[in-house]
């Protein structure tokens, strides 16, 4: 078992990979969404039950849990990144590095491309959480990180995918053209400075109606300064002093600049050569053409706007694939292996259901692990697609 105390602990550890240079790279699936209310008194009092269990905690992922582990107030901006373990083969404890430059999101996993600079990262969020006070920006984002130097993830540029769907809405045939929205360039050390400025925030600092952390207004002002546009219609173009919204509120920053934040349960990501695969647990919520489009800042849904992803619902999910050029840049995603709903809202036994972890094998075949449960398949199964 790894001792994570050197990096102030890890929040909801998920999947991981081994990089081409031999280091384990782990995904921190931090999913406390509304950072603005991290220090709300209800999150830190004696009542440790979530609201759906009759308690007063705003979220079932409790900030208090991390504060108890540390013995002091936890800083939310220290969680939600890719973690690299250097010298993992040594007898001593490995050197753990949180790569703040890869962005703060609900990291499921990452695919490291053969150039040893490009990472594709999946953001595991869902519209199922809409309407909760701790979350407005429901819907995951596909991120790309391009490091400054090979084999060194400590500095680089963060991007978010913007999708243009084909004309049809059949999830088994409709793909997406992909362009990339640049969020910003930074280094771990630079971002560490931004994060450290929130270390002293406590419950006593909380004031209802304001925030001690980055607010949605801050993210919007940053995005307006980046785009040169009045994005919220108030007649002014805002600005922000630095690029911290891009790296500390990456999902919101991506949505504010027009990237697509409508993936539902974007799960595993893996690659073989210049081929990249993405697992999607279900084509539902924000991906469903009948669900509507959610405003990232207010959480209000526009039922007349189907959004960038507007597919017929397919609750059995599937896997998308993209083939890059020599630059390892994805410009197109196509359905690769899609599940199919059959009678009784079950999934076809001849196809994968609700893909979770996926792995590209050395021979180019794809291993697909299910997380479906008995309502979809008799047993969760492991598939190989060739």
Average pLDDT over residues 27-41: 84
Split at pLDDT 50, 70, 90, the class of 59 is low
Instruction: Phi first, then psi: give them for residue 177, nearest 5 degrees.
Output: -80, 145
In-domain check, residue 370? no
pLDDT tens digit sequence for 122-180: 999 887 766 656 565 568 999 999 999 999 999 999 999 999 999 999 999 999 999 99
Q: Collapse the DSSP code of 63 into the 3-class scheme (helix H, G, I; strand E, B; otherwise coil) and give the result.
A: helix
End-to-end CA distance of the chain: 35
Split at pLDDT 50, 70, 90, the class of 53 is confident
pLDDT tens digit sequence for 174-211: 999 999 999 999 999 999 999 999 999 999 999 998 99
56 or 104, which is more confident? 104
The residue segments making up the domain with residue 139 are: 5-315
Quote the pLDDT of residue 137.
59
Quote the pLDDT of residue 31.
67
At residue 101, does pLDDT exceed 60? yes
Share in percent of the chain as helix, strand, coil (round to 5): 20, 30, 50
At residue 279, does pLDDT exceed 70? yes
In-domain check, residue 330? no
Query: How many domains does the chain fold into?
Result: 1
- Distance (Å, whole) CA 189 – CA 209: 32
In-domain check, residue 176? yes
Residues in Cβ contact with 156 at an 8 Å cutoff, skipping those fewer than 6 apart: 101, 102, 117, 145, 146, 147, 148, 185
Q: What percent of the chain has pLDDT over 90?
A: 80
At residue 33, does pLDDT exceed 80? no
Tokens of 153: 């993830």
Q: Collapse the DSSP code of 132 into the 3-class scheme (helix H, G, I; strand E, B; otherwise coil) and give the result.
A: coil
In-domain check, residue 159? yes
In-domain check, residue 156? yes
Among the ranges given (38-42, 158-162, 229-233, 277-281), the one the predictor scored with the smallest mean pLDDT:
38-42
In-domain check, residue 141? yes
pLDDT tens digit sequence for 306-361: 999 999 999 999 999 999 999 999 999 999 999 999 999 999 999 999 999 999 99
Average pLDDT over residues 367-382: 95
Burial of 227 (C-beta count, 10 Å sphere; 0-12/13-18/19+): middle
In-domain check, residue 304? yes
Residues in Cβ contact with 222 at an 8 Å cutoff, skipping those fewer than 6 apart: 238, 239, 240, 243, 245, 246, 253, 256
- E-strand ranges in 246-309 read 266-272, 275-280, 293-294, 301-302
In-domain check, residue 353? no
Tokens of 83: 């973690």
Model pTM?
0.96
At residue 274, does pLDDT exceed 90? yes
Split at pLDDT 50, 70, 90, the class of 47 is confident
Quote the pLDDT of residue 245.
98
pLDDT tens digit sequence for 251-260: 999 999 999 9
Return mean pLDDT, the chain: 93
């Amino acid at each position: 078992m790894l001792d994570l105390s050197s990096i102030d602990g890890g929040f909801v550890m998920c999947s991981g990979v081994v990089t081409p240079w031999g280091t384990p790279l782990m995904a921190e699936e931090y999913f406390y969404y509304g950072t603005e209310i991290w220090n709300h008194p209800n999150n830190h009092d004696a009542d440790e039950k979530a609201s759906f269990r009759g308690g007063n905690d705003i979220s079932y992922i409790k900030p208090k849990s991390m504060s108890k582990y540390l013995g002091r107030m936890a800083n939310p901006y220290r969680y939600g990144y890719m973690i690299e373990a250097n010298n993992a083969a040594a007898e001593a404890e490995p050197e753990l590095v949180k790569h703040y430059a890869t962005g703060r999101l609900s990291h499921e996993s990452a695919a490291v491309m053969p150039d040893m600079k490009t990472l594709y990262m999946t953001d595991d969020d869902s519209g199922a959480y809409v309407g909760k006070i701790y979350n407005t920006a429901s819907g995951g984002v596909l991120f790309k990180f391009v490091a400054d130097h090979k084999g060194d993830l400590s500095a680089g540029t963060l991007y978010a995918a913007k999708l243009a769907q084909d004309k049809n809405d059949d999830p088994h045939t409709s793909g997406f053209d992909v362009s990339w929205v640049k969020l910003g360039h930074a280094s771990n050390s630079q971002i560490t400075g931004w994060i450290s400025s929130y270390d002293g925030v406590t419950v006593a600092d909380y004031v209802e109606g304001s925030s001690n952390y980055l607010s949605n207004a801050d993210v919007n002002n940053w995005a307006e300064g980046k785009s040169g546009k009045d994005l919220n219609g108030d007649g002014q173009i805002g600005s922000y002093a630095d690029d911290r919204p891009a790296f500390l509120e990456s999902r919101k920053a991506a949505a504010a600049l027009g990237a697509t934040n409508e993936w539902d349960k974007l799960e595993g990501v893996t690659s073989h050569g210049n081929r990249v695969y993405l697992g999607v647990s279900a084509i539902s919520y924000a991906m469903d053409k009948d669900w509507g489009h959610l405003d990232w800042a207010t959480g209000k849904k526009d039922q007349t706007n189907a959004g960038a992803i507007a597919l017929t619902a397919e609750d059995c999910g599937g896997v998308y694939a993209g083939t890059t050029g020599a630059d390892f840049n994805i410009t197109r995603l196509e359905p690769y292996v899609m599940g199919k709903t059959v009678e009784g809202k079950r999934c076809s036994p001849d196809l994968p259901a609700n893909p979770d972890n996926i792995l590209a094998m050395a021979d180019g075949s794809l291993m697909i692990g299910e997380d479906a449960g008995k309502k979809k398949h008799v047993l969760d199964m492991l598939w190989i697609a060739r």
